[in-house]
Amino acid sequence: MTTPFFLPDLGEGVHEAEILAVPIIVGQDIVEGDIILEIETDKAAVEIPSPFTGTVSEILVQVDDMSVVGDVLVQFSMESTSTKSTQVEKTDKRKRVVPASPSTRRLARELGVDLHEIVPSAPGAVITKDDIQTFAADHSKATEPLEPEQKKSTPERKIAIPTTLPDFNQWGPTERLPFRSIRRATAARMSRSWTMIPHVHCQDVVDITLLEAFRQKHKDAVQSTGGRLTLTVFALKAVATALKNFPHFNSSLDLENQEIIVKQYFHIGVAVDSPKGLTVPVIFDVDRKSIKELSQEVHGAIQRVRAGKQTREEMQGGTFTITNAGALGGNTFSAIINHPEVAILGLGQGRMQATVVSEDRGRQEHKIVPRLIMPIVLCFDHRVVDGGDAIRFLRTIIDSLEDPDELLMTMI
């Protein structure tokens, strides 16, 4: 008997994946739980365990292929399953390895659900959070496997292009590069966000002269602990304070139920320029962590992303995003909101500028002095927040960044 293994539903809105590695060969005996594929989604690289004990009879994918949920990846021959393995399955069901992600296992523990009792919602699939929640709600039978006609609803492999491109080779040599993995997923997310969300941009500048002096004073001590004291670290704390004062910026819009979901936690994403494209690891509970702790976490997250070792868990759950183009020399720019969030903060490069400042001597006097000035932009969803609150939200961040003492005093 031949049994197909489908690309499982990986949850969290993931519909497709790139095949990174195929560590199996035709004819190889596989025990349930053995790693049979390594894939990469727009979230992270994931190892896929086999839900079967049997022999690989056919491999239908190769490295660099793109597959969507429901595609058959491997065929197993179950007839050659060893007697010993069969006795194990029949006599001790609870010893079998259950294919599920760490976050799914955590949900199962929280709900008191035994993963061994759950049948995944698609043939060959890992168990998902939806499977857990369905089982916990009514203990009914698992969802039936997808029928061929149901698979037609699977997202299309190609992003629709409105017009036919000309033959560019008529003007000179060209090269075609695959549009896949993180680059492809980023394009889909950005298109969806720009189409769905009415973006409004609120721009200003920040005098970070004092903050830079503070950073220079403490950066070596922080670096000795394994962290990097960057401007992004201070921005994380300033944003967390602003989010607590203006909670609508820490929300998502649920159009289906006509509700605004305001989160009571503060998990802030940091956009990272990686070799594979823009990636946004999430720093959790920013409001509860010190500057030193954040400097270590941000540095660690950036290192993992650039090495391609980030996990799916650290790429999920963000409530707000910060993107710092200043590290690359970028100045003023507009950012696209990371849906389903409702706002994103963009930071440009701080540059010395001649600045007019007032002197407090009882009368209005001004002078021109060199100051380190950084452009800052807040992009927000006008369906959820209005311009007045956006200006006040941005002003809270600016006030915190312009005065390190104010930043420390407003950490709530």
**Is the domain 2-150 a CATH 3.40.50.280 member?**
no
- pLDDT score, position 144: 43
The pLDDT of residue 364? 72
Q: Summarize pLDDT for 396-412 with one digit per residue, the tens.
A: 999 999 988 878 776 65
Cα 78 to Cα 49, 117, 405: the distances in Å are 16, 22, 68
Assigned CATH for 182-409: 3.30.559.10
320-324/343-347 β-pairing: parallel
> Dihedral through CA 174, CA 175, CA 178, CA 182, nearest 10?
-90
> How far, in Å, CA of 263 to CA of 40, rounded?
29
Each domain of the chain, given as residue ranges in start order, spans 2-150, 182-409
Q: What is the predicted pLDDT for the residue at 89?
A: 44
Q: What per-residue confidence (pLDDT) applies to 362?
A: 57
Q: For residues 280, 281, 282 and 288, what is the CA-based torsion angle, rounded to 10 degrees?
A: -130
Catalytic residues: 382
User: For residue 17, which of 197, 181, 177, 214 has the smallest C-alpha distance?
Assistant: 181
pLDDT at 105: 66
pLDDT at 300: 95
Going 228 to 208 to 373 to 379, the CA torsion angle's sign is positive
Global pTM?
0.64
328 Cβ contact list (under 8 Å, min separation 6): 273, 349
Residues contacting residue 71 through CB under 8 Å, at least 6 positions apart: 6, 7, 60, 61
Q: Which residues of the chain have pLDDT under 50?
A: 80-86, 88-97, 140-156, 159-161
Helices (H), 5-164: 83-91, 102-111, 129-138
The values of phi and psi at residue 179, to 5°, are -100, 90
CA distances, 91 to each of 34, 88, 95, 119, 379 (Å): 20, 5, 9, 18, 59
